[in-house]
A and B are shown apart, each in its own frame.
Chain A
Amino acid sequence: MATKSGFLNTSVAKKVAMALSGFFLMFFLLQHCSINMLSVISPDAFNETSHFMGTNPLVQYMLQPVLIFGFIFHLIMGMVLELKNRAARATNYAYSKPGNCSSWMSRNMIITGIMVMLFLGLHFYDFWIPEIKTKFIDGDMSGMLADGSGYRFYEELIHKFADSIRVVIYVLAFVFLSLHLMHGFQSAFQSVGFRKTTWTPIIQKLSMIYAVVIPAAFVFIAIYHHLAHH
């Protein structure tokens, strides 16, 4: 019997935990996209918001660790489930047509997920690590440019997108993210049991909208700054 102490050891609980961390990451992505979009609409508003997010104690010391834990949990749990699922069929079929009954996205979440995580390495190298260094190693919490002429966040953003290769990598990464979300969004609802004949078509449409619009917005921001400033 599934006792409370063994709750997370059961297959369904792992699936639910995967879904909940996915919901959290999708909410974060929406918030990240909204702030980034400010860089196109109003550089000043983008600077102000970035400074607030970078210095607010609640965001920095509460939400940021939770976010990092969420990413790591989603990654490790995804790997654990993939390995366990592969082990459940030691001998594969000699001839199989999985495309007849399931989408490529649903069968390859591990591939799209790993590609997104690899991209996050670059993203951390580009933005997060320099940010941590400036604030917590150099001790500069002002968020200002070296010459003090204004906030540094917008300048740093357009500087990163000067490199064409980096923009191409960003675009490719968001294609993988889009493929990941096309299945992940609707799958998370199913995993927590939120499904009914009446709701499911709406969730599936929302899933496609979210999976296309959010990554497309990130791609637009990268290309916009590359073309507008270089």
Chain B
Amino acid sequence: MNLTLKIWRQKNTAAKGEMKTYKVADISEDMSFLEMMDVLNEELITKGEDPVAFDHDCREGICGMCSMYINGEPHGPDRGITTCQLHMRKFKDGDTIHIEPWRANAFPVLKDLVVDRSSFDRIIQAGGYISVNTSGNSQDANAIPIPKENADLAFDAATCIGCGACVAACKNASAMLFVSAKVSQLSLLPQGQVEAKDRVLNMIQQMDDEGFGNCTNTGACAIECPKEISLDNIARMNREFLSASISK
């Protein structure tokens, strides 16, 4: 298939970016979206032009690196997948595809389609962990009885890969789905409950400090999330925040 690509090009964070138009020909519908981008970049390099910078790593939907806003949606026009899992069969011959980076003040553009998501790392550093003495005599986690329902909910929350699609999809650039998934995956388990109050307070404070917007419950984040993280997590985080604010 032959396609027209309108891609955001920006030299660096300080530079003014713009949408540029490219043509790609003979794209197979079996290609992944990133393979299509590879084809474009090979052509650009052959012509002596600067290739389009974009994040990618595992290319199997688990690392959370790919981060394109494709035709008006994070990770493109499909549900429950990352950009690397998006296939060209989702498009038609002759289509025009718009490709932009995540847009949020807390995710500044580094180059072209690559954004700096280290704000997520700082939120995790603020409390997204459990403090464990790793001297070698730690208790076996499997020795602690955990209700199946809680284990499943914690696991569901833990599938969040931190790609930032929730922020990209939200009209307010809110990170609450990400933060709530990280809060939930730990606070649902006995090992995480010890520090649950400090965790939720500190992570929300860091989220606010990073400049993310507030949640207005549009639900766009959960729909666009490649791991289908539920809004139940945001409600749980809100409950935990209220409880911790009163008792701390």
Contact = CB atoms under 8 A, between A and B. Distances in A.
A101 B238 contact: no
B219 A102 contact: yes
B112 interface: no
A208 to B, nearest CB: 15
A196 B149 CA distance: 13
A145 B237 CA distance: 56
A103 B216 CA distance: 12
A98 B205 contact: no
B107 to A, nearest CB: 9
A85 interface: yes
Contact of B215 (A11, A194, A197): A11
Interface centre among B71, B98, B224, B235 (most CB of A within 10 A): B235
Nearest to B207: A11
A84 interface: yes
Contacts of A100: 72-73, 77, 223
Contact of A93 (B100, B172, B214): B100
B201 interface: yes
A89 B108 CA distance: 10
A137 interface: no
Interface string A72-102: 0000000001001111111111111110111
A132 B1 CA distance: 72
Of B169, B207, B214, B224, the most chain A CB neighbours within 10 A belong to B214
Interface in B204-248: 204-205, 207-208, 211-220, 223-224, 231-232, 234-239, 241-242, 245, 248
Q: Interface size bucket, B side?
A: 35 or more
B103 interface: yes
Given A10-B205, A197-B232, A88 B220 contact: no
B157 to A, nearest CB: 14
B213 A89 contact: yes
A94 B217 contact: no
Contacts of A89: 103-105, 172-173, 213
A95 B70 CA distance: 9
Interface in A128-147: none
B214 A107 contact: no
Contacts of B242: 12, 16, 192-193
A4 B245 contact: yes
A183 B217 contact: yes
A137 B105 CA distance: 53
A7 interface: yes
A187 B234 CA distance: 12
Contacts of B77: 100
A228 interface: no
Contacts of B32: none
A15 B201 contact: no
A90 B105 contact: yes
B238 A193 contact: yes
Interface string A1-39: 110100101111111100000000000000000000000
Interface of B: 6, 8, 19, 69, 71-73, 77, 98, 100, 103-106, 169, 171-174, 176, 198, 201-202, 204-205, 207-208, 211-220, 223-224, 231-232, 234-239, 241-242, 245, 248
12 contacts: A1-B205, A10-B204, A15-B215, A85-B216, A87-B105, A91-B103, A94-B8, A106-B216, A109-B216, A187-B216, A190-B231, A192-B239
Q: Which 3 A-B pairs have the closest CB atoms?
A: A97-B72, A88-B213, A193-B239
